[in-house]
Amino acid sequence: MSRLKTHLEPFAVRLRPHLKTAKSAEVARLVTDGQAGPLTVSTLREAEYFLEHGFSDLLYAVGIAPNKLEHVFDLRRRGAELSIVLDNIDMAGLVAAQCAERRDRLPVLIEIDVDDHRSGIKPQDPILAQVGRTLHEGGAMLAGVMAHAGSSYFSKGAVAFEDMAEQERSGAVAAAEALRGAGLPCPEVSVGSTPTALFSRDLAGVTEVRAGVFMFFDLVMVGIGACSLDDIAISVLASVVGHQPDKGWILIDAGWMAMSRDRGTARLSVDQGYGVVCDLGCNPIPDLIVIDANQEHGIIAHRSGTGPLPDLPIGTMVRILPNHACATAAQHDRYQVMNDGSIVSAIWPRIYGW
Amino acid sequence: MSRLKTHLEPFAVRLRPHLKTAKSAEVARLVTDGQAGPLTVSTLREAEYFLEHGFSDLLYAVGIAPNKLEHVFDLRRRGAELSIVLDNIDMAGLVAAQCAERRDRLPVLIEIDVDDHRSGIKPQDPILAQVGRTLHEGGAMLAGVMAHAGSSYFSKGAVAFEDMAEQERSGAVAAAEALRGAGLPCPEVSVGSTPTALFSRDLAGVTEVRAGVFMFFDLVMVGIGACSLDDIAISVLASVVGHQPDKGWILIDAGWMAMSRDRGTARLSVDQGYGVVCDLGCNPIPDLIVIDANQEHGIIAHRSGTGPLPDLPIGTMVRILPNHACATAAQHDRYQVMNDGSIVSAIWPRIYGW
């Protein structure tokens, strides 16, 4: 976490960490240095949970659905400084009308599409100002624009991340300028993803940066060059429960229920299967990966399928580094916190569901 | 569920439903017709939960790890008639010694490998009798053999399932006979997977059948010919939150966190993406699938990528049929139970974790 904070220090931007990966109040306290926010969340369940744990400055960064508005206003009545995002005129009209009716100037960021990745309005699209005007004149608070260059996960290496960060920044700033040019307010320009946040070289015009997976990192982030294997701060503990020497397999009691079905490294130059096998001290065992998984069984083998296997007797405990921290962490209801690589110093609960 | 029960009726076998998919006491009560078992479970957390809900006859069907034995004996002290499985001499020795020390004749089934799929001892392997003898003479109760033809999920069509069922049956029975031939007891012969249980034509020598995913079915089961789309009894409810008409996309608020990362149909002749899109009444919308997913966003498109899209305004609610019921259900903490396809008649909690 210090790496991202150090990187962002020279820029006059707020860090609004995304808790979609960790979903834990203890992790949130660490990453906010004990402050009560600001945080980004991916569900209203997270907003509710973090509010109950003293975090009130919250951005719910998934395009709002009509049937979630009641919950949003309820959280605000209970003290959350909760803001939302949307990217279309229908929702803008509905939100503005609800704000007027409830006399609550809910802050709304307009989502900007900077990389054709998912959702958002293009910076140059005339709809942008219409959405802004609908919100601003209708009863909501037009708080600014938000962009997420999700394509950065499909880039590779520092130069590509720098370019993607600039594309994200310039797109978001262009959208903000389009709103301001139409006589509308746009105080916030929020951008971010772990690779773009870590490799941005210029944040002119940006007011806040969001990132989530950097708290733990994972094999996809290693594979695209955003971090090294040593940076991964999360693993799944498992026991050896069987051997199939004819097949070159060692069976463990962690399958896809423990690792998730995420196979993010399958598309990268090094396919890590369902995860990299490490000893209890988190040192990778050379060329040993989880090559396949059933619900509660993992199959460990040499990366080549046929290479030599170390002697891991029944009951040996191993740690598996995951493809995707967000997906793997979501399969568990708590973290066992290790301070020196072997002793559990705390149990941190995490939440789940919507 | 009635289909499997009707199919098994002519055979003198016990059905021991696998609750790894449903993880719900209400579903367990339905599938056992209100009896307190027997059940199969995939984690000791499930064993604990079902015991607390009045189900005492439980088989934990994943090869036991040394560090789980204390929990097994504890559950038995608390009234569970819990049995376990193992497939190697080291665990057999350890289990037998623990049984003797604790004076608890824990029932153990030896796992048999009938299809090279995962774990187990081959029926003809001389290790089998050694493992049986170690258990029987060492203090455990040698309860029988257990086989799971997991390869059936990779078969397709009735004839292939019938063949796989016979392979599972004959392998398990051969293993039982090998144990009996060595002068050892083998009262139970437990087999099963949803496709083999549904398509078995002969169960001679089998005492019990296990199956789990048949309770809900899913798109993989449809794709391999084990059921039809109408049989799928589980879906994820989502709302339309955005449109990207230039890309042919409709965005919904259900991503891989709601659907799971399971892409089981990717290897089948019809790839259903992250799921088949249905209206609220569970009628599939022709050729509409979730082609991609981020954590909390799903991208709906025409199956071809470019075909026409129906008019689904912001806020429209849809239901998504999943690739894999076990994986998708695991992402949720409750079921909304529908009786007529639209009205929620009950909320059934489900469990999670280990």
Residue with tokens 């005007």: A133
Which residues lie across from B240 on neighbouring strands?
B252
CB of A250 within 8 A of CB of A56? no
Structural domain includes residue B88: yes
H/E stretch holding B41 reads strand B39-41
Contacts B333 to A, Cβ<8 Å:
352-353
Angle between helices B69-77 and B89-102 (to 10 degrees): 40
Give me the residues paired with residue A141 across strands: A107
Looking at beta carbons, which residues of chain A come within 8 Å of B119? 241-242, 244, 251, 297
Among residues A12, A18, A38, which one has the least CA distance to residue A203? A12
- pLDDT for res B193: 96
d(CA A107, CA A59): 9
Q: Give the E-state strand segments of A134-191 in sequence order.
A: 141-147, 188-191
Contact A172, A209 (CB under 8 A): no
Residue B220 lies in a domain: no
Write the CATH number for A208. 3.20.20.10
Contact check, Cβ <8 Å, B65/A315 = yes
Take residue B336 and report the two structure tokens written for it: 């909304």
Question: Which of B110, B210, B261, B334 is the mutation pick for testing A, counting most A CBs within 10 A?
Answer: B261
Alpha-carbon Rg for chain B, nearest whole angstrom, is: 22
Partnered with residue B110 across adjacent β-strands are B86, B145
How many Å apart are CA B208 and CA B206, to the nearest integer? Answer: 6
Residue B192 confidence class, pLDDT cut points 50, 70, 90: very high
B313 part of contact set with chain A, CB < 8 Å: yes
* pLDDT score, position B341: 63
Q: B98, B69 in Cβ contact below 8 A?
A: yes
Give residue A341's pLDDT. 63
Share the mean pLDDT of chain B.
96
pLDDT of residue A100: 97
Question: What are A154's two structure tokens?
Answer: 């499909």
Last residue of a domain, one of B215, B249, B281: B215
In a domain, B339, yes or no: no
- Among the three residues B160, B186, B215, which one is the final residue of a domain in this structure? B215
The whole-number pLDDT of residue A345 equals 87
Interface contact flag, A239 B66, Cβ < 8 Å: yes
CA distance A296 to chain B (A): 7
Q: What average pLDDT does range A120-135 have in this prediction?
A: 98
Does residue B324 have a pLDDT over 80?
yes
- A238 lies in the same domain as A151: no
Give the closest of B239, B295, B330 to A20, CB-based. B295
What is residue A191's predicted lDDT score, i.e. its pLDDT?
98
Whether residue A137 is contained in a domain is answered as yes
Q: Report the CATH number that the domain containing residue B267 is assigned in CATH.
A: 2.40.37.20
- Phi then psi for residue B47, to 5 deg, are -60, -45
B11 domain-assigned: yes
Which of A265, A115, A261 has the alpha carbon at shortest distance from A193? A115
- Same domain assignment for residues B205 and B100: yes
Tokens of B315: 């806020």
Q: Are residues B165 and B307 in the same domain?
A: no
Reply yes or no on whether the pLDDT at B52 is more than 70: yes
Q: For residues B59 and B81, what is the distance between their CA atoms, to the nearest angstrom?
A: 8
Say if A342 falls within a structural domain.
Answer: no
Q: Give the pLDDT confidence of A28-61 residue by residue, as tens digits.
A: 999 999 888 899 999 999 999 999 999 999 999 9
Q: Which residue in chain A is spatially nearest to B294 when comparing CA positions?
A: A118
Distances A98 to A43, A59, A70, A114 between C-alpha atoms, Å: 20, 19, 9, 29
* Structure-token match 């098994």, residue found: B8
For residue B131, how many C-alpha atoms fall within 13 Å in the half-sphere facing its CB? 29
Judgement on whether residues A263 and A205 belong to the same structural domain of the protein = no
Q: What is the pLDDT of residue A139?
A: 95
The CA dihedral of A160, A162, A164, A169, to the nearest 10 degrees, is -170
Mark whether A173 and A309 lie in a shared domain. Answer: no
How far does Cα A182 stand from its chain's mean position?
33
- Based on the domain organization, do B197 and B97 belong to the same domain? yes
Structure ipTM: 0.96
3-state secondary structure of A68: helix
Which residue, B167, B186, B215, sits at the end of a domain? B215
CA distance A86 to A64: 6
Shared-domain flag, residues A201 and A286: no
Per-residue pLDDT band for B175 (boundaries 50, 70, 90) equals very high
Residue B282 lies in a domain: yes
My answer on whether A183 and A49 are in the same domain is yes
Distance between CA atoms of residues A185 and B116, nearest Å: 65
Helix (H, G, I), strand (E, B) or coil at A347: strand
Task: Output the pLDDT for position A306.
Answer: 84
Domain ranges, residue B157: 2-215
Q: Does B281 share its domain with B160? A: no
d(CA B234, CA B336): 10
| Residue B279 sits in the same domain as residue B190 | no
Angle at B225 between CA B220 and CA B226, to 5 degrees: 80
Q: Is a pLDDT exceeding 70 seen at residue A150?
A: yes
Interchain contact, B88 vs A314, CB within 8 Å: yes
Residue range B112-124: mean pLDDT, rounded: 97
Helix (H, G, I), strand (E, B) or coil at A31: helix
Residue partners of A77: CB distance under 8 A and separation at least 6: none
Give the pLDDT mean for B287-293.
97
Least confident interval from A228-237, A307-316, B31-40, B95-104: B31-40
Region at A86 (left for phi over 0; alpha for psi -120 to 50; beta for the rest): beta
Give the residue-averaged pLDDT of A245-256: 97
The pLDDT confidence band at residue A284, using thresholds 50, 70 and 90, is very high
A52-84: pLDDT as tens digits: 999 999 999 999 999 999 999 999 999 999 999
What is the spatial distance between Cα A89 and Cα A138, in angstroms, rounded to a whole number?
12
- Is the Cβ of B316 closer than 8 Å to some Cβ of chain A? no
Name which of B88, B150, B313 is nearest A90 (Cβ-Cβ): B313
Residue B150: its chain A contacts at CB < 8 A?
294
CA distance readout (Å), B276 to A212, B219, B222, B236, B265: 30, 8, 12, 10, 11
Query: What average pLDDT does chain A have?
Result: 96
Residue A287 is which amino acid? D
Mean pLDDT of A124-136: 98
Q: For residues A307 and A221, what is the distance between their CA atoms, to the nearest angstrom?
A: 26
Whether chain B has a CB inside 8 Å of the CB on A261: the answer is yes
Question: Which residue in A90, A296, A353 is closest to B43 by CB distance?
Answer: A296
Chain B segment 110-149 residues within 8 A of A by beta carbon are 113, 116, 118-119
Share of chain A above pLDDT 90, in %: 94
* Residue A258: predicted pLDDT: 98
Chain B CA closest to residue A90:
B314
Domains contained in chain A, number: 2
Same domain, A203 and A242: no
Q: Are A192 and A289 contained in the same domain? A: no
Residue A77 lies in a domain: yes
Cβ distance of A253 and B119 shorter than 8 Å:
no
Question: What number is the average pLDDT over the span B262-272?
Answer: 97
pLDDT in tens, B197-212: 999 999 999 999 999 9
Strand partners, B321: B276
Q: What is the largest CA-CA distance in chain A?
A: 72
